């Protein structure tokens, strides 16, 4: 048997991190077992589905590297197929046309609620002779009245629901569009899905889906319902907690490796290992080991992982995304040091690519003014002679010798000549050429900023001190 998993997002917004984790688990499981990972877009909610959301989801999946083997399939392109399947259910007596008006259904709901009962359809149209009816209708599933449904869930164990708890759910609406539960069943069946791995917010739907599958004479997939991700207040992670989309984390400068590593651990573990390469994830992951308990999203840990990957991934692989972050700040890297060199110099100093970009603007653009506090503390009048001497020493270095070791020597020699401690000279130099007090080692920083810019910025600082 080839394992076939699927990820089936509804395109009503950006890709939520919780959905991304589900997608990751589906992807990993298929990869691990040499199976297929199918992408299906559940776009039947016509009011809330948008092309923009579809694009955003596909984009986020691609960015995460969760490549799909088949699809994307779109439910709205499969309406005929749902019609075909519903016809067989109508013929076999497992479905019926329901002509009840909205008003009747609403009244039923009100009456049941008044009696403190769960709203449910009362089966009014079960015995209709639909040949004699006219007007618009929906198609309902004829749920068994007795017995129970057992869900053997890999994560939650056995869940038993009495059929008397389930009503005759709508399969196809009056406009011919299937409901979620029906679309999923037909698709999972047609796409030969062997493992349904999804959020446990769908666990309550599973008995209904099993009943439909049984009515179709189909065998059941394996179910694994993954717990929800919670915000710091213990409530389900949602927009109320701030941004929750994969896109948001990308814009914040999180790396896909870090986000995936973070998400896999949020609901699954392998001993106390925290860092997993993609290959290790594939090797170690198993749906049997998914945790049942919901977990709280921890941004600090995500940042920690991100920094780990910033420091350890091949810098050249980070260049395109780093460049994108700089461009978001209006900084274009063609007039400055190679991005890869800046990445290498900065990677210990930033937790995200965005932060790194923000801290790297001075390599490419002159800053408008020096930070006020940095200036007050480091560019006082008494440093002017030292800085001037340093400017002269640096200007003696030709462009061909403009490298960190030579720059370092120039600083050391100037400090010795003027009997200054190295830091007394290096920090004012840093403030003068970067506009602030934090940067990579100053010789490296000067090399990257470039000879002409360094000398110009020193001149500018000197004019300001004396001016
Ligand atoms: N379209 C559903 C959702 O986005 C997923 C359903 C499923 O995986 O069965 O929640």
User: Which residues lie below 8 Å from residue 84, measured CB to CB, with a gap of 6+?
Assistant: none
- Same domain assignment for residues 425 and 461: yes
What pLDDT is stored for residue 132 in this prediction? 67
- Give alpha helix (H) positions in 115-164: none
- List, chain by chain if needed, residues with CB within 6 Å of any ligand 1 atom: 8-10, 42, 184, 198, 202
What pLDDT is stored for residue 199 in this prediction? 96
> Are the beta carbons of 363 and 346 closer than 8 angstroms?
no
Nearest atom in ligand 1 to the alpha carbon of residue 6 is: 8
- Same domain assignment for residues 337 and 399: no
- Same domain assignment for residues 411 and 336: no
Phi, psi of 229 (to 5 degrees): -100, 135
Phi, psi of 41 (to 5 degrees): -100, 120
Nearest atom in ligand 1 to the alpha carbon of residue 22 is: 8
Number of domains observed in the structure of the chain: 2
- Same domain assignment for residues 460 and 401: yes
pLDDT in tens, 320-345: 999 999 999 999 999 899 999 999 99
> Are the beta carbons of 452 and 418 closer than 8 angstroms?
no
- What's the gap in Å between 166 CA and the centre of ligand 1? 20
Does any domain span residue 173?
no
- Same domain assignment for residues 356 and 422: no
Cα separation, 154 vs 200, in Å, equals 11
**CA angle, corner 428, sides to 427 and 430, nearest 5?**
60
Cα separation, 145 vs 64, in Å, equals 45
Cα separation, 207 vs 213, in Å, equals 10
- What's the gap in Å between 199 CA and the centre of ligand 1? 8
What pLDDT is stored for residue 272 in this prediction? 95
> Are the beta carbons of 246 and 216 closer than 8 angstroms?
no
- Same domain assignment for residues 401 and 327: no
Tokens 């040091």 correspond to: 337
What pLDDT is stored for residue 427 in this prediction? 97
Give just the sign of the alpha carbon dihedral 56, 61, 63, 68: negative
DSSP code of 290? Answer: B
What pLDDT is stored for residue 215 in this prediction? 98
Q: Whose CA is nearest to atom 6 of ligand 1?
A: 8
What separation in angstroms does the CA of 349 have from each of 261, 354, 438, 444?
21, 12, 9, 14
- Same domain assignment for residues 390 and 337: no
For residue 260, what are its two tokens? 């995936």
For residue 176, what are its two tokens? 């011919």
Nearest atom in ligand 1 to the alpha carbon of residue 9 is: 4
- What's the gap in Å between 310 CA and the centre of ligand 1? 33
What pLDDT is stored for residue 22 in this prediction? 98
Does any domain span residue 67?
no
What pLDDT is stored for residue 133 in this prediction? 74
- What's the gap in Å between 101 CA and the centre of ligand 1? 28
Query: In testing the pocket of ligand 1, which one of 153, 202, 204 has its CB within 8 Å of the most ligand atoms?
Result: 202
Active site residue 239: yes
Q: At what angle do helices 442-449 and 422-434 cross, to 10 degrees?
A: 30
- What's the gap in Å between 243 CA and the centre of ligand 1? 21
Does any domain span residue 435?
yes
Does any domain span residue 103?
no
User: Which residues lie below 8 Å from residue 22, measured CB to CB, with a gap of 6+?
Assistant: 7, 197, 198, 199, 226
- Same domain assignment for residues 395 and 338: no
- Same domain assignment for residues 324 and 386: no
User: Which residues lie below 8 Å from residue 266, measured CB to CB, with a gap of 6+?
Assistant: 21, 229, 295, 297
- Same domain assignment for residues 323 and 376: no
Query: In testing the pocket of ligand 1, which one of 19, 42, 71 has its CB within 8 Å of the most ligand atoms?
Result: 42
Cα separation, 380 vs 351, in Å, equals 32
- Same domain assignment for residues 434 and 412: yes
Tell me which residue range forms the domain holding 439: 372-466
Catalytic residue (choose from 31, 116, 239, 375): 239
What pLDDT is stored for residue 390 in this prediction? 98
Nearest atom in ligand 1 to the alpha carbon of residue 201 is: 10
The last residue of a domain, from among 329, 363, 397 = 363
Does any domain span residue 37?
no
What pLDDT is stored for residue 467 in this prediction? 58
Beta bridge partners of 73: 40
Cα separation, 48 vs 312, in Å, equals 41
First to last CA, the chain: 80
Cα separation, 47 vs 53, in Å, equals 12
Does any domain span residue 275?
no
**CA angle, corner 247, sides to 343 and 272, nearest 5?**
70
Does any domain span residue 146?
no
Q: Which positions of the chain have pLDDT values less than 70?
A: 129-132, 466-467
- Same domain assignment for residues 321 and 357: yes
> Are the beta carbons of 230 and 236 closer than 8 angstroms?
yes
Nearest atom in ligand 1 to the alpha carbon of residue 7 is: 8
Domain containing residue 378: CATH number: 1.10.10.350
Does any domain span residue 164?
no
Cα separation, 84 vs 190, in Å, equals 12
User: Which residues lie below 8 Å from residue 463, measured CB to CB, with a gap of 6+?
Assistant: none
The last residue of a domain, from among 363, 394, 424 = 363
Query: In testing the pocket of ligand 1, which one of 10, 23, 203, 209 has its CB within 8 Å of the most ligand atoms?
Result: 10
- What's the gap in Å between 36 CA and the centre of ligand 1? 18
The last residue of a domain, from among 363, 380, 400 = 363
């Amino acid at each position: 048997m080839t394992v076939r998993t699927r990820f089936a997002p509804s395109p009503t917004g950006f890709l939520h991190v919780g959905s991304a984790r589900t997608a990751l688990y589906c992807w990993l499981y298929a990869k691990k077992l040499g199976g297929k990972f199918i992408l299906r877009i559940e776009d039947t909610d016509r009011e809330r589905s948008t092309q923009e959301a579809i694009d955003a989801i596909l984009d986020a999946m691609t960015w995460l590297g969760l490549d799909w083997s088949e699809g994307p399939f779109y439910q709205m392109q499969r309406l005929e197929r749902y019609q075909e399947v519903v016809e067989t259910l109508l013929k076999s007596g497992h479905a019926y046309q329901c002509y009840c008006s909205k008003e009747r259904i609403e009244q039923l709901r009100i009456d049941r609620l008044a009696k403190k009962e769960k709203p449910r359809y009362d089966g009014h149209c079960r015995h209709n002779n639909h040949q004699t009816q006219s007007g618009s209708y929906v198609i309902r599933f004829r749920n068994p009245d007795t017995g129970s449904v057992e869900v053997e869930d890999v994560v939650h164990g056995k869940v038993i629901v009495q059929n008397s708890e389930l009503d005759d759910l709508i399969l196809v609406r009056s406009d011919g569009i299937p409901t979620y539960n029906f679309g999923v069943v037909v698709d999972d069946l047609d796409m030969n899905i062997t493992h349904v791995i999804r959020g446990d917010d769908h666990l309550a739907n599973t008995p209904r889906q099993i009943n439909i599958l049984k009515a179709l004479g189909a065998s059941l997939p394996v179910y694994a319902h993954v717990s929800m991700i919670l915000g710091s207040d213990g409530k389900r992670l949602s927009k109320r907690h701030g941004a929750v989309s994969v896109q948001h984390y990308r814009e914040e400068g999180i790396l896909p490796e870090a986000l995936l590593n973070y998400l896999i651990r949020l609901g699954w573990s392998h001993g106390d290992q925290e860092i997993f390469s993609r290959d290790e994830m594939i090797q170690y992951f198993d749906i049997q080991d998914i945790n049942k308990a919901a977990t709280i999203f921890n941004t600090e840990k995500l940042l920690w992982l991100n920094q780990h990957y910033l420091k350890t991934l091949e810098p050249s692989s980070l260049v395109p995304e780093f460049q994108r972050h700089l461009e978001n700040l209006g900084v274009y890297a063609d007039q400055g040091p190679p991005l890869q060199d800046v990445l290498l110099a900065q990677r210990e100093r930033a937790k995200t690519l965005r932060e790194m970009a923000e801290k790297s603007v001075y390599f490419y653009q002159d800053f408008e003014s020096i930070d006020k506090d940095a200036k007050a503390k480091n560019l006082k009048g008494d440093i002017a002679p030292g800085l001037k001497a340093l400017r002269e020493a640096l200007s003696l270095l030709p462009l061909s010798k403009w490298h960190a070791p030579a720059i370092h020597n120039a600083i050391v020699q100037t400090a010795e000549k003027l009997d200054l401690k190295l830091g007394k000279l290096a920090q004012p130099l840093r403030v003068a050429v970067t506009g602030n007090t934090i940067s990579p080692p100053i010789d490296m920083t000067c090399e990257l900023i470039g000879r002409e810019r360094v000398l110009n910025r020193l001149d500018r600082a000197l004019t300001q001190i004396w001016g």
